[in-house]
Amino acid sequence: MKKQWKRLLIAALTSSSVFAATWYWYQSSDQKFSRNGNEKPLAYVGNVVDDIQRRPASRLLWQLVNTGEPLYDGEAIRTSEKGEVRIQFTDSDRYLDLEPESLIVIKKSAGEISLDLMEGSLFVNAQEGAGTENGPGLVLNSENGKVDLSQASASLSKGSGGKLNIDVLEGRASMQGTDGQTQDLKSRDDVRIISPLPQKPIAMNAESLQPVIFQWEGFPAQTKVSLWAGPSRKKLQEFKVSEGGPSYLKAPLTFGRHYWKLVGTTPEGRIIETRVYRTDVMARYAPTVVFPTADAHITVAQTPAAVEFRWQKGDDTKQTTLEIWADANLQKKVSAKSFANEDSFTASNLAAGTYYWRMSSTYTDSATPLLGKIQKFTVSTEPEVKTPVALVPVNVDLHTPTTQYYVGQPQFGMDWKVDKSDQVALWRVKLLEEHAAPETAQSFDATTTQFTTTLAKPGRYIASVEALNKTGEVLGTKTSEPINVLPRPLLEAPTFIPREGELRAEMNGKTQLQWTALEGAQEYWLTIKKDGKELKKSRYRGPATSLKNLLPGEYEVEVSATDTYGRPGQTSAPRKLTVPDNSGLKAPTLKKIQVN
């Protein structure tokens, strides 16, 4: 027994020394890497989807990467099966999109940034940064030489065989071979895609999804062309077939990301395939018009008059365009203005009459504008002649919790229901801090029965909702009770089950631990300590786990929870966990001994 304990002690000391040395080396290299603050990053991490990992040149372990983190010389980036990341280079507008199951290394050499695509696919958009003064070049290392992508937008992929495929979509790219000779890279595809443009997203009206038009040229006459599409490059299936007629087809793609290619079969049976492209179909909304409302009658003192247009645009709207015509056939255009950040415009010198107008938006990364509905309004010096109609009262029912929690920026939200929604043209929401002067209330216009806004500070607020008809008359109003806007508290500490007493492992050495489940918890962290030192910290999705391979002795266990916002909550009080040093197995019994 003493020899066994001696062996265990030697093994424990050896393992501890190796662990301590590894930990010291890892922390030292981490501090060295962190102290490298004078080094300028090569790029920054942009949009991140799913798990993305990085590995600095001086490290052995992979680490999770988040949006906004800098990337330095020699770092490797890899994506998971569903992971995607945009890498934005410094000193220019260049960026690259790394697709799922890809691995790339970013390096810096004399006057240029070099990329090593180890596996997977990526899209490089360097054309926008071509005019950047003193910007470093952008090259891709390959077996056949160095590819200059400083002035090109290109799609690149490398399969398991190691063959690199380069498709130059825009701009100019060149390759310098191992013999020093330089040649321009051009698309050698016989088939040219006209629409949709490769790697360019398509913005469509979220309320009216239309089929995507695929148009091409270059297939031989009478070729049967089929569209293969899927959620990834490896999962393409035949989706739509064009029977050798016109050089286009329409496919009802859903909102989201799609990979696709065209496959043609000639009358002789020859198969012609295009490269695999990526297209994002984005759901977008036309600008929400606040004034004038549809079929509005605007009475003015004299003509020509000025009419103010007000609208609400989306966060990623690049440009908003307002068009006004003086006829129903849209032939006599009165005004056409484009706006970048404005949300209102005053059209002047409008004579009496009926005008038709439309608002459209162009979104970031999309060149196709999203057109709104054609609406009309009338300008007159005489009030609109109407048959007196009694106002229809509207009952507003608020559905707003009296306590609202937020994480980060204080935020207020509310929604309501109405019994005669067809009578309401606009909602007016007023928000007032409790005990503040009524004239300090903030006023907001809404077109739906939901409202959300950010606040300057937490506190108690009172909100009211007014239902307005087309002429601006109030049909109904409702005022809320005082509403508390508070920071969302951290999760309380889970409690081990049973709540009291000693936690004890089974006789076979296994330990079943269970704790109370908390509402709003995304994951749980279990910490095991011995003599005040942390031995292990593990993450679990549920409120239970099974431990094994714990040496006999006494331990302390603690548990905490992390909420859906990633914030760690309170930690439970330490509980004693005992692992017995004897087994539940009985010793074997000799039944018969035969001696010759």
Model pLDDT, residue 134:
56
Residues 47, 174 share a domain:
yes
Q: What is the CATH number of the domain that holds 355?
A: 2.60.40.1220
In a domain, 37, yes or no: no
Query: Is residue 342 a part of any domain in this protein?
Result: yes
CATH number at residue 209: 2.60.40.10
- Asked whether residue 595 is assigned to any structural domain, the reply reads no
486-489, long-range: CB < 8 A, 24+ apart: 486/403, 486/404, 486/405, 486/406, 486/458, 487/405, 487/406, 487/407, 487/458, 488/405, 488/406, 488/407, 488/563, 488/565, 489/405
Last residue of a domain, one of 153, 185, 217: 185
Domain assignment present for 446: yes
Considering only CA atoms, which of 160, 73, 87 is closest in space to residue 123? 87
* pLDDT category of residue 532 using cuts at 50, 70 and 90: confident
At 527 the pLDDT is 92
Q: Are residues 87 and 165 in the same domain?
A: yes
Percent over 70 (pLDDT), the chain: 87
* Whether residue 145 sits in one domain with residue 49: yes
* Residue predicted with more confidence, 493 or 39: 493
Residues 173 and 47 in one domain: yes
Tell me: pLDDT of 320 over 60: yes
| Residue 508 in this model has a pLDDT that exceeds 80 | no
Q: Are residues 249 and 263 in the same domain?
A: yes
Residue 590 has pLDDT above 80, yes or no: no
Mean pLDDT score across all residues of the chain: 81
Domains of the chain: total:
5
pLDDT in tens, 252-308: 888 888 888 899 888 888 888 888 888 888 877 777 777 888 888 888 888 888 888
Q: Using the 3D structure, point to which of 185, 203, 219 is the last residue of a domain.
A: 185
Q: Are residues 544 and 508 in the same domain?
A: yes
Residue 34 reports pLDDT greater than 50? no
| Whether residue 81 is found in the same domain as residue 148 | yes
Here the CATH number for the domain that contains residue 126 is: 2.60.120
Q: Is 8 a domain residue?
A: no
Same structural domain, 465 and 412: yes
The model's confidence at residue 559, banded by pLDDT at 50, 70 and 90, is: very high
Does the pLDDT at position 210 exceed 50? yes
pLDDT tens digit sequence for 236-264: 888 888 865 678 888 888 888 888 889 98
Confirm whether 494 is domain-assigned. no
pLDDT at 185 over 90: no
Residue 127 has pLDDT above 80, yes or no: no
Residues 172 and 64 in one domain: yes
Whether residue 32 is predicted with pLDDT greater than 50 in this model: the reply is no
Q: Where are the beta strands (DSSP E) in 381-455?
A: 396-399, 403-406, 411-418, 426-433, 442-446, 450-454
CATH classification at residue 436 = 2.60.40.2550
> What pLDDT, on the 0 to 100 scale, is given for residue 2?
64
Out of 11-20, 483-492, 587-596, least confident range = 587-596
The predicted-structure confidence for 51-84, as pLDDT tens digits, reads as follows 888 888 766 778 888 888 888 888 889 888 888 8
304 and 355 inside one domain = yes
H or E element, residue 263: strand 256-265
Place of tokens 């007000």: 310
User: Mind listing the pLDDT tens digit for each residue in 451-481?
Assistant: 888 888 888 998 889 888 887 788 888 888 8
Answer yes or no: is pLDDT of 389 > 60.
Answer: no
- pLDDT exceeds cutoff 60 at 387: no
**Cβ-Cβ contacts under 8 Å for 528 (sequence gap 6 or more):** 534, 535, 536, 537, 547, 550, 555, 556, 557, 577
Same domain, 334 and 418: no
For residue 257, what are the domain limits?
192-284
CB 392 within 8 A of CB 420: yes
Q: Is 90 domain-assigned?
A: yes
Tens-digit pLDDT profile for residues 132-146? 455 678 888 877 778
Give me the pLDDT at residue 549, please. 75
pLDDT the model gives residue 202: 82
pLDDT at 561: 92
Output the pLDDT for position 33.
46
State the average pLDDT over residues 553-559: 89
| Structure confidence at residue 133 (pLDDT) | 52
Are 201 and 241 found together in one domain?
yes
Q: Give pLDDT, residue 524.
A: 92
Interior/surface letters 107-141, b for 16+ CB within 10 angstroms, e for the rest: beeeeebbbebeebbbbbbbbebbeeeebbbbbbe
Supply the DSSP symbol for 496: B
Q: What is the pLDDT of residue 558?
A: 92
- 516 found inside a domain: yes
The count of C-alpha atoms lying within 13 angstroms of the C-alpha of 327, restricted to the half-sphere facing its C-beta, is: 5
Q: According to the model, what pLDDT value does residue 560 have?
A: 93
Domain boundary among 130, 151, 185: 185
- 151-166 mean pLDDT: 77
The 8-class DSSP code of residue 471 comes to T
Classify residue 470 by its DSSP letter.
T
- Per-residue burial over 367-401, b if 16 or more Cβ lie within 10 Å, else e, is ebbbebeebebebbeeeeeeeeeeeeebebebebe
Specify the pLDDT at position 31.
Answer: 41
